[in-house]
Amino acid sequence: MFRIRTVLATAAVAVLAGLGVAAPASAHDTIVSSSPGADEQLSAAPEEVVLVFSNELLSLDGNTGTAMIVEDESGKDWVAGEPVVEADTVTVPLEPGMTDGTYLVTWKVVSSDGHPTSGDYSFSIAGVAPTEAPATETAEPEPTESATAVTTQAEVTDEAEVPADDESAPWPLLIGLGVVLLAAVVTFIVILARKKR
C-alpha cells in the first residue's frame, strides 16, 4: 500500500514538473529588440522598421500571418512594402519624407508555437527640416496675334499722322521773287529810255 502511494506521488510530481517545463515552451514569442526602439527619439527619418523576436517566427505562404503598419499622428501609414520574415526578424521598408512627430508601430506575427501574437509601440522624430517646394518662375505671357496686329496698326497710324514736308511750298515764294525782279528790270529799262531822249 505504501509502495502504491509512493508511485502515485512520484507520478504526480513528474506530471506537474512536465507541465512546468511545457508552460514556458508554449509561451508566445516576444520582441527582443527593435529599430527604431520603443520610445526612441530620432533626429532623422528612418528608412525601415526592424523587429527581432525571442524565437524563429513561422512564415506562412505569402506572409499572410505577418503584418505591420507605421502611422503618424494624422493616421497616415508610412509602410512602403510587404513585411519580410527571416528567422526571428521582421523588416518593413518605410516611405521617404517622414517629418517630426510621434509614430505608432503596430505589428502581428505568428509565434514559433503556431499562435498569432501582436503588439505595438511608439517612437518619435525631432529635428527633421521641412521639405520646401522649389520656387516656380512666373512666365510672362507671350503677345497674342490680335495684340500684335493692334500694335502694328497703331504704329502705322502714328506714322500717317506725321505731316510730310510739302515739296510745293517754295514755288509761291519763287514766283513772287520773279515778279519783283521783272518789275525792277522793266523800271530800269524805262528810266534808260527816258534818259536817251
In a domain, 28, yes or no: no
In a domain, 138, yes or no: no
Residuewise pLDDT in 10s, the chain (197 residues): 444 444 344 444 344 444 444 444 456 789 999 999 999 999 999 999 999 999 999 877 666 789 999 999 999 999 999 999 999 999 999 999 999 999 999 999 999 888 999 999 999 999 886 655 555 666 666 656 655 555 556 554 555 454 555 555 577 777 877 878 888 877 878 787 777 76
In a domain, 78, yes or no: yes
In a domain, 197, yes or no: no
**pLDDT tens-place string over residues 28-42:** 789 999 999 999 999
In a domain, 72, yes or no: yes
In a domain, 43, yes or no: yes
Task: Report the run of H or E that residue 50 belongs to, with start and end.
Answer: strand 48-53
pLDDT in the model for residue 143? 59
pLDDT in the model for residue 126? 94
What is the span of the domain harbouring residue 87? 38-128
Domain count, the chain: 1
In a domain, 90, yes or no: yes
The CATH number of residue 123's host domain is 2.60.40.1220
In a domain, 84, yes or no: yes
What phi, psi does 32 have (nearest 5°)? -90, -40
